[in-house]
Structure 1
Amino acid sequence: MANFTLDDVRQRTYKARDAWWTVLLVDPLASRLVRVTANRTNITPNQLTVGALLLGLAAGGCFAVGSWPYLLLGALLYHLSFTLDCMDGKIARLKGTGSVFGAWLDYIFDRVRVLACAIALMGGQYAITGNVAYVWTAVAVVFLDMLRYMDALEIYKVRNQMRAKLGAAREEAQTLELAVRRANGETPVAVGDELRSAEGAIGADPEADMEEQVVGDNPNAQLQAGFNKQFPWYARIRNVLKRGRIRPHLISGIEFQMGVFIVAPLVAALIPGAIIPVTVLSAIGMLAFEFIIIYKFWLSSRDYSRNLAKLQTKIDSLRAQLPAEEFAASSG
């Protein structure tokens, strides 16, 4: 059997920045469970993913009953389901047993859990009260969950494409600059500052890029120049949160889910009828932070366009300086 320590688990599996719910309420328990699971069992990440789904469906079964004891039990089971869901990725990173299929399975099962629990929670309350507002609330919860993750995936994909295109242009400009210097009999030097600055135009944004780096990777995340310029105070808040591994995106899809499936049932067990108001507040918080991400992405796209245009101008200028045979060689 393996002999992983708790420090091994933290260094190899903790993300550099994560949702505050995960950091404060899940990781302390999950890390200890991961250590025991990794050292004493042969349980695989995919088995944990399936177990998380089963616990989530059990939570949904409790929500469907609708009475206060079952609301409390459902909230507890949902939290345990999410803890197990966090463990599968940690086990995969700790043991190096992650797979593309496992990532897909985790994503799909997460969406199934949200769908099932939304229908069960709101359906149970509708059965008790006859209030059709619960039906529309279930639709809204599923829609917002889908919107959040579709938006995150699309922004992640587009930002990667932007980085790739900017990197290719920068590499071409650097190659041409060295070719011009050689053609002029000059000693090749490092790439100019204007080319290096273009590389940082689309820095890593953990909120938009769904960062998967872990603590031991010592990431050096950059914010977009436009956003940082307009909101200089943001960096100070970010750095304070970063020391605790908490990302500034304080109400993400995770906190939205926990607001709906843990906080709302717990409050409703004490205050009947509280599920819809708590769900609405959770949705407003998530949407507010989503608009911030979209705004940051918009600023990032402007930085990208400006820097790509500068690089293209640089490329055209360098090509014009090359002798015909050098130009043909660089083009080939």
Structure 2
Amino acid sequence: MAQRFTLDEIRTRTYKDRDAWWTVWLVDPLASRLVWLVAPLRWVTPNLLTMGAFLLGFVAAYCFLQGDYPWLVAGAVVFHVSFVLDCMDGKIARLKGTGSVFGAWLDYVFDRLRVVTCAVALMVGQYERTDSMVYLWLAGLVIFLDMFRYLNALQMGKVKGDMRRNLEAARGEGPGGPVVVEETSAAQPVGVADGGSGQPVVDVYGEFRAKLGPLVKVRNFLAGQRIRAHLFSGIEFQMFVFILGPLTDQVVFFTVLSAVLLAAFELLLIYKLYSATKVYGRELAKIGASEAEAEAAAVAAGVGTQDDEDDELAPQRISA
């Protein structure tokens, strides 16, 4: 038996600063206690939990495929348990320092396969139950939106990392220098020196927040509860489709609702990124550098960071 961690240690070391509201309210309270229970067992590894979550996803898919309501309820429950295990693998990795880049890849790929498998099984089961072609179209919609959400998030993370890296290089800052591209809180005005370095923080999201007005207060309130402002992400999308829909026997309603909400929040993120790139361009102009020159300077200097705080794709399986 390994070291027994306290619940406070687990919360402090494994909870994200900001997370999906579904995870904060409906997963973390259970997952943290299960982590407390299994963390001392040396054979319970992050990859084992990832495999367990993946296999439970197939069990949920089998239940969904049966089509009848009692099976839908069983599938929803199993899917939620699968997601709890999926959250536990990252917590164990961060708590015990046993994460790996392969584990992060495994977690990501298995998550996508689980969604595809459950989407096909759920909608085919309902098609056989009702003989309605609507469910087959919805299967394609769920798979497409899940793919789009995660590909879009990965690319957005790359673009934001590139903007940070290029600005650092254009300002002559090497690796480990002050972070100059940040999404600051409303309490931190643009231009505040970063960590006593004398370099002002470049808040590329300032214009976007200014257009939101009073919603900034809502954002800050949510952040105080560890809930990210991106209220409907891939996590909520999956839970609406694979848990709320089956539990209420309203698969069409919750699938369509979740699709609309996910699309709306993705469009908001795209607009937010577009707004940030305009500010980024103006900041480069102030420095007197073109984007190509900044990128070349970044490559030469070897500067690079990544900002993934808007999505659930940060490499949670890679120990710090």
Please report the TM-score for the alignment, with normalisation by the length of structure 1. 0.78
Counterpart for residue 120 of structure 2: 119
1:145 maps to a residue whose letter is D
Segments of 5+ residues of structure 2 without an aligned counterpart are 186-200, 291-320
Q: Are 1:290 and 2:271 counterparts?
A: no
SS in 2 for 1:144: helix
CA distance in 2, matches of 1:136, 1:109: 23
Q: Is the contact made by 2:204 and 2:280 (CA closer than 8 Å) also made in structure 1?
A: no
Give the corresponding residue for 1:7: 8
1:91-240 → structure 2 map (5 Å cutoff): 91-171=92-172, 200=180, 202-204=181-183, 224-240=205-221
**CA–CA distance in structure 2, aligned partners of residues 275 and 245 of structure 1:** 30
Distance (whole Å) between structure 1 residues aligned to residue 278 and residue 123 of structure 2: 42
Q: Deviations 1:57-80 (Å, cap 9, x if unpaired)?
A: 100000000111110000000000
Give the RMSD, CA atoms, in angstroms.
2.1
Could you tell me which residue of structure 2 aligns to residue 249 of structure 1?
230
Seen in structure 2, the aligned counterparts of structure 1 residues 98 and 109 have a Cα distance that, compared at 3 Å, is: same
Query: How far has the Cα of 1:42 moved from its partner?
Result: 2.5
Q: Distance in 1 between matches of 2:213 and 2:251?
A: 38
Query: Would you say the 8 A contact 2:204–2:277 is kept in 1?
Result: no
Check whether the contact 2:204–2:279 (CA below 8 A) recurs between aligned residues. Answer: no
- Code of the residue aligned with 2:283 in structure 1: it is N
TM-superposition CA deviations, 1:267-288 (whole Å, max 9, x none): 10xxxxx211210001111111
Aligned residue type for 1:306: R
Deviation at 1:223, TM superposition (A): 6.7
2:23 paired with 1:22? yes
1:312: how far off? 1.8
Q: CA deviation at 1:299?
A: 0.6
**Which structure's residues are more often helix, by fraction?**
1
| Counterpart position of 1:278 | 254
Q: Structure 2 vs 1, CA of residues 48 and 221 (structure 1 numbering), >3 Å: closer, same or farther?
A: farther
Pair 93,133 (structure 1): closer, same or farther in 2 beyond 3 Å: same
Tell me if the contact between 2:245 and 2:255 (Cα under 8 Å) persists in the aligned partners.
Answer: yes
What is the TM-score normalised by the length of structure 2? 0.81
* Number of residue pairs matched by the alignment: 271
CA separation of 1:311/1:284 partners in 2, compared to 1, >3 Å: closer, same or farther? same
Higher Rg: 1
3-state SS, counterpart of residue 79 of structure 1: helix
Report the residue type matching 2:90 in the other structure. G
Q: CA deviation at 1:133?
A: 1.1
CA distance in 2, matches of 1:223, 1:27: 32
Residue in 2 that maps onto 1:260: 241
Aligned partner of residue 60 in structure 1, secondary structure: helix
